[in-house]
Amino acid sequence: MNRKFLTFIIVISGLVIIKSQNVEMNFPKFAGKSYDFILFQGDHQETVYQGIIPKDGKFTLSVPDSYGTYTGMSRWLITGTKEGGGLDMFIPGHHFSVSCPEENPSEKNIVYINNEGDQELNRLFKYQQEILSRYQSMLLASRSYDSSFAYYSIFKTELEKQKNEYVSFQRDLREKSDYISRFLSIANLTRGIGGTLSEQEEERGRDAADYISQNLDWKTLYTSGHWSTIIGSWISIHSDILKDPVNFTKQFKAITNRISSAELYTDFCGRVSYYLGQFGKDDYISLIAPVVISSGKIIHYEGSLSSYIRGTVGLKGSDLVLETYKESSKNEDFSAYRNQKDRTVKISDLAGSNYNQILLLFYKSDCGHCDELLRELSARSKNSNSKKIRIIGISSDRDKEIFSKRQNALGWKDLYCDYKGVTGANYKNYGITATPTLVLMDNTGTIIYRGASLKELQTYLKK
């Protein structure tokens, strides 16, 4: 592991009473270089201090009082040079110092004072790597020879021994309550290292998902610098490996019960919605929306959070806002609205007596998956009258030329664009944060499917 983990000290700058957490730094070989001091807060890297290292190399980094007694990860980052550099540091909630007299800091020449956490992290990491190294050696040996080889049984015995030792180490690590142990378990997940050495992807995925939903400490994750990575991995496991919406909902409820902080829960739900959209699992949002809303922990449903209250299955679809669509639309069906100030088309008018269902495709012209759906739905739209399905494409393009080129190539009249990207009214009203997204409604405007899969959509289309 190349990163070095440190702890930080507490101080208030410029006043008589010392309160804030500080770390006393001494890096004489870095004199004259500028730096940033960054704290990790969920999905954000917050730069709390910037400065230039003085000639003697001695300076102080401070954690602002607004963070309280901070325990978590941070980053001291050298800026303004091609070489870059810096350290990822652990702040334990009390004072400590770190120094290095050399030009190239390393584990051997960096000296920490009052920093047991850093030493413990290095010790645990080395021990884990030793187990993994022995396991990999025995695994390779057992695969290189057949059972008739004289030492084959020894290889197999040692392989099982290292496997058991690894599982025992991970179990103990996950049961500990100190920050360093919890942090290493989190860092392991980002490297594909879980609580088991199984070669079965589903077993590894289930182990990781169970740990995230049942054991992971969310306060530790929030200050670890791995917030989005872990949440994205959890969504990926459910989307690509487990593929069980019931289990996903169950685990989401478990996490909801374990995150008491409204701030952390709001950030968590925002990330979940975003990644579900990215993985084309918008239908999962409908499953967990009641849990999110009933939690009472979210005050403002903005950005990716809007998908929990807008455009979900069972709700009425929002009316379409045409605004500048008059410049892009080839469809004469909306001509009656073009001289109105609001230029809003009611969902009920889209269906009327001519269609049984309405399908909205939210897309972008340079999106590969979107292009596949566009071509397929464009072909279907030409025959959709007989099937009583009206198919409408809503683009998040910002460039008129790009939109028009795609529209002309497809020859599809029901394509619209307001050139505002995902910040446009229709994207906001339907809580769309990723493309492609399909929204299917019945002739009353009630949403009956939301997702990104034509195969799944087929189940909901009327024959």
Taking residues 196-225, what's their average pLDDT?
95
pLDDT at 235: 97
Residue whose pair of structure tokens reads 């025992």 in the numeric block: 168
Q: Are strands 437-442 and 415-417 parallel, antiparallel or unpaired?
A: unpaired
Q: Which helix (H) or strand (E) holds 74?
A: strand 72-79
pLDDT at 414: 81
- What distance in Å separates the CA atoms of residue 181 and residue 185, rounded to the nearest whole number? 6
Give the chain's domain count. Answer: 2
HSE of 430, CA atoms in CB hemisphere, 13 A: 35
Asked if the structure places residue 392 within a domain, the reply is: yes
Model pLDDT for residues 393-403, shown as the tens digit of each residue: 999 999 999 99
Asked if the structure places residue 391 within a domain, the reply is: yes
Asked if the structure places residue 193 within a domain, the reply is: no
Asked if the structure places residue 257 within a domain, the reply is: no
Taking residues 325-341, what's their average pLDDT?
47
HSE of 45, CA atoms in CB hemisphere, 13 A: 11
Asked if the structure places residue 128 within a domain, the reply is: no
- What distance in Å separates the CA atoms of residue 446 and residue 357, rounded to the nearest whole number? 10
Residue ranges of the alpha helices (H) in 279-330? 282-295
Taking residues 365-371, what's their average pLDDT?
87
Strand order in the sheet with 357-363: 415-417, 389-395, 357-363, 437-442, 447-451
DSSP type of residue 30: G
Asked if the structure places residue 426 within a domain, the reply is: yes
pLDDT higher than 50, residue 208: yes
Domain containing residue 436: CATH number = 3.40.30.10
Picking from 66, 81, 114, the residue at the C-terminal end of a domain is: 114
Taking residues 60-86, what's their average pLDDT?
90
Taking residues 95-116, what's their average pLDDT?
90
Asked if the structure places residue 60 within a domain, the reply is: yes
Picking from 114, 129, 150, the residue at the C-terminal end of a domain is: 114
Picking from 114, 135, 166, the residue at the C-terminal end of a domain is: 114
Model pLDDT for residues 287-315, shown as the tens digit of each residue: 999 999 999 999 999 889 999 998 888 88
pLDDT at 296: 95
Instruction: Domain of residue 56: give its range.
Output: 21-114
Model pLDDT for residues 232-248, shown as the tens digit of each residue: 999 999 999 999 999 99
pLDDT at 241: 96
